[in-house]
Amino acid sequence: MTQLPIKNVELASSLNAVKGKKSKEICIHHWVIQPANGPVSNGACQICGENREFENYVESAHSSIYLGK
């Protein structure tokens, strides 16, 4: 796992302490998203290691451009 910058660790720890939560319950995610290759791309947070899928296409944004909405 990538070493975290001290400021990010301190900030996350401070937020957790204020909200009374454990260190893994709050993360200020820093997503690294794989290049687009289909409808979704996998991403991983460099801070906590969480994995998530991100959509590569947002229909409403594109249709409003082309349809003049």
9-60 pLDDT tens trace: 566 566 555 555 555 568 999 999 999 989 999 999 999 999 999 999 866 6
Asked whether 30 and 7 are in contact (CB, 8 A), the reply is no
Q: Which amino acid is at 4?
A: L
Angstrom distance (rounded) from CA 45 to CA 62: 27
What is the model's pLDDT at position 57? 81
In total, the chain counts a number of residues equal to 69
Could you tell me the pTM of the whole model? 0.48
Angstrom distance (rounded) from CA 21 to CA 37: 37
